[in-house]
Structure 1
Amino acid sequence: MKRRRSPQGLERTSSRREPKKRILVMCEGTVTEVQYFSGIKDHFRALPVEIGTCDIDGCGRDPLGVVRAAEKRRDTAHRKAQRQGDAYLAYDEVRAVVDVDEHTSLEAAIRRARESGIRLAISTPCFEIWLLRHFQECSAALTSAIVQNKIHRYVPGYEKHLPEDFPYGEHGTARRRARTADPHHDSPNRKGRNPSTNAWLTIDAIAASGQRDAKSSRW
Structure 2
Amino acid sequence: MARARGGDSVSRRKGAAKGRGSRARQVYIYTEGEVTEPEYIDIIVRNGAWAESGRTVQHHIANPNVEGKHRKPLRMVQDAVRTLRKVEREAKDAGLRRDKDWNWPQVWVLFDRDDHQGIPEALSLAEKEGVRVAYSHPCFELWRLLHYTNYTATFGGVCNDANSRLRSRPGFAATYGRGVRTVTAQQSKHVREEQVLTPATDDALSRYRTARKHAQKINDGYSTTHPHSWDPYTDVWRFVEDGLLLSGY
Instruction: Output the TM-score relative to the length of structure 2.
Output: 0.67
Partner of 2:83: 73
Structure 1 unaligned residues grouped into runs of 5+: 1-11
1:183 matched to 2:220? The reply is yes
1:74-153 equivalences under 5 Å are 74-81=84-91, 85-87=93-95, 92-142=105-155, 143-153=158-168
1:85-121 deviations in Å (ceiling 9; x for gaps): 4257x95222211111100021110111011111211
Q: Secondary structure at the match of 2:74?
A: helix
8 Å Cα contact 2:83/2:107 also seen in 1: no
Identity %: 22
Question: Quick one: which amino acid aligns to residue 118 of structure 2?
Answer: S
Aligned partners of 1:121 and 1:197 also within 8 Å: yes
Q: Which moved more, 1:169-178 or 1:36-45?
A: 36-45
Contact 1:44 1:206 in 2 (8 A): no
- Residue 116 and residue 207 in structure 1: after superposition, are their counterparts in 2 closer, same or farther (change >3 A)? closer
Q: Highest Rg: 1 or 2?
A: 2
What's the TM-score once normalised by structure 1's chain length?
Answer: 0.75
1:202: which partner in 2? Answer: 239
Q: Matched residues in 2 for 1:161 and 1:104: separation?
A: 26
Letter in 2 for 1:204: E
* 1:26-80 C-alpha deviation (Å, 9 max, x unpaired): 2111110111122122223665231425343567111012212222322333444
**Secondary structure at the counterpart of residue 159 of structure 1:** helix
* Secondary structure of the structure 1 residue equivalent to 2:29: strand
Partner SS state of residue 107, structure 1 = helix
- What value does the CA root-mean-square deviation take over the aligned residues? 2.9
Q: Contact between 2:31 and 2:37, CA under 8 Å: does it hold in 1?
A: yes
Post-superposition offset of 1:13: 2.6
> Comparing 107-116 with 53-62, which one deviates more in the overlay?
53-62
Q: Is the Cα–Cα contact under 8 Å of residues 110 and 135 in structure 2 kept in the other structure? A: yes
